[in-house]
Structure 1
Amino acid sequence: MKFKPGDKVSVLDDSFTGTVKSYKKDGKVAVITAEGFELLFTESELIPTGGSLGALFAGKSLGSVLREKETPVKRKQPVPEKKSRKDSVVLEIDLHVEKLVRNKKGMSNYDILNLQMDTARHHLEYAIKNRIPRIVFIHGVGEGVLKSELDYLLGRYEEVVFGDANYQKYGLGATEVYIKQNPGR
C-alpha cells in the first residue's frame, strides 16, 4: 500500500485533488474530493501532492510529473528500405493497335494480333536483357484473344512470373510480368 488515509493526492488523468479515505477489498483507493464526493481509483492513477509520500517521486513536483504524463513519446520512424532505381522501374507497354500504328486501315485481325505479339516479345526480350524487373502489358478486355496469346507467350519463359496487374490502376485489361533476375546471367 502506497497511500495511507489522510494523504493528499492528485489524479493523473483528471484535474482534481482529494484526500485518501481508505483502501477497498478490491485494492482500489477511496478518495474524497474537495467537493465531498467519494471516488475509487487504482494506485497507479494517483500521485501524492505533499506529505511524506512526496519523497517517492525523488523531489519532482506535481507539475513536472503531470507534464511528463502529457508529453507525447516520440516514436522512431521506420527506416525505409533503400531500393535501387531499377526496382522502381516499371515498363508499361500498351498493346492497343492504335498505340502501335498510325493507321490500321487495311490490316486484318491476324496482322494486328501478330504485330501486338511481336511488340510484346520484343519488349519482353529487352526487359530480360536489361534486367528490368517488371513489365505491365496493357491489352484491354475485349474477347480475350490477345490476353490468351500473351499468356501463352509468357508461359514459354522460365524466368518469368505473370498475373493480372493492379486492378485499381489498370482494371481487368492488363497483365503484370515479374522477371526473375539471375546473377549468373
Structure 2
Amino acid sequence: MFNIGDQVAVLDDNINGVVVGFQKEQIIVETTDGFTMTYFVNELVKINNSSKLEVFNSGQTLDAVLKEKELPKKRSFVKEKRSKKDDFVLEIDLHIEKLVPSKRGMSNYDILTLQTETAKRQIEFAMRNRIPRIVFIHGVGEGILKAELDFLLGRYDNIVFQDADYQKYGLGATEVYFKQNANR
C-alpha cells in the first residue's frame, strides 16, 4: 500500500512527511521538520501530488480549499520596551487590619497615628532606595486618613502626588512620585 518516497500525512496529528522505510508492521516516516518517526499503517494516509485537482467541480483547487481552512496567523504587536524599574510600584495598604493583627484597645487617634507613621516610614524607605513611585491605599471612608496623608506628603519638597489610577484602585488610593536629584 505504501512505498518508499510516498508523501504521507498522519491522521490524528498535523504532521506530514515522506516514507523512508519499513520496520515490522510500522512505517518509518521522515517529517517535513527532519525528524524520523514510526507509525502503523492505519495512522497514515497517502498524499497525492496531484493537489491541483478540481474539488467538487467548484472551480477551486485543493490547495485553495486547504488554505481557506488554515487558522489565520496571529498579528504581532510590538510592545514598547520599558525597564523593570518603571513597572515596579510599591503598594502600601494603610488599612489598619493590614497593619496590626487586632485593633482591639486602640483609639481612633492611635490608629491614625500608626497609619501616618507607617506612611512616613515607607516614604523614607522609598527615598533611600530610589524607588520612583509608591501607591498608598487608604480607602474612601470619611477622608480623614487621606487628608492626613496629603498633609504629610505636602511637607516633602521632592514629592509629587495625585489620586491613583481609578480603574485599578478606585477612589481610595494616592500615587506618589519622587523627583530624583541628579547630584545625589
| TM above 0.5 | yes
Counterpart position of 1:80: 80
Task: Give the letter for the 1:95 counterpart.
Answer: L
1:154 CA drift (Å): 0.4
Which letter maps to 2:104? K
Q: How far 1:170 sits from its partner (Å)?
A: 0.5
Match of 1:96 in 2: 95
| Cα displacement string for residues 97-156 of structure 1 (whole angstroms, at most 9, x for unaligned residues) | 000000000000000000000000000110111111110000000110000000000011
SS at structure 2 position matched to 1:131? coil
The aligned residue for residue 176 of structure 1 is: 175
Equivalent residues, number: 110
Distance in 2, Cα, partners of 1:140 & 1:78: 36
Q: What secondary structure, in the 3-state scheme, does the structure 2 residue paired with 1:104 have?
A: coil
Q: Which has the higher helix share?
A: 1
Secondary structure, in 3 states, of the residue corresponding to 2:176?
A: strand
Amino acid at match of 2:136: F
- Structure 2: give runs of 5+ residues left out of the alignment: 1-75
Q: Report % sequence identity.
A: 68
Looking at structure 1, the residues matched to 79 and 123 of structure 2 have their Cα atoms a distance apart, in angstroms, of 34
Residue type matched to 1:162 in 2? F
Structure 2 residue matching 1:154: 3-state secondary structure: helix
**Residues 1:162 and 2:161 are matched in the alignment:** yes
TM-score by length of 2: 0.57
For the aligned residue pairs, the C-alpha RMSD in angstroms reads 1.7
Which residue of the partner structure matches residue 114 of structure 1?
Answer: 113
Q: Which amino acid aligns with 1:137?
A: F
Structure 1, unaligned runs of 5 or more: 1-75
The match for 1:148 is: 147
Deviation at 1:88, TM superposition (A): 1.5
TM-score normalized with structure 1 length: 0.56
Distance 1:106 1:160, change over 3 A: same
Structure 1 runs (4+) deviating above 4 angstroms are 76-79
Question: What secondary structure sits across from 2:118 in the alignment?
Answer: helix
Residue 89 (structure 1) shift: 1.1
2-side partners of 1:79 and 1:168: how far apart? Answer: 21
Query: Once the 2 structures are TM-superposed, how far is the Cα of residue 77 of structure 1 from its aligned partner?
Result: 6.5
Amino acid at match of 1:157: Y
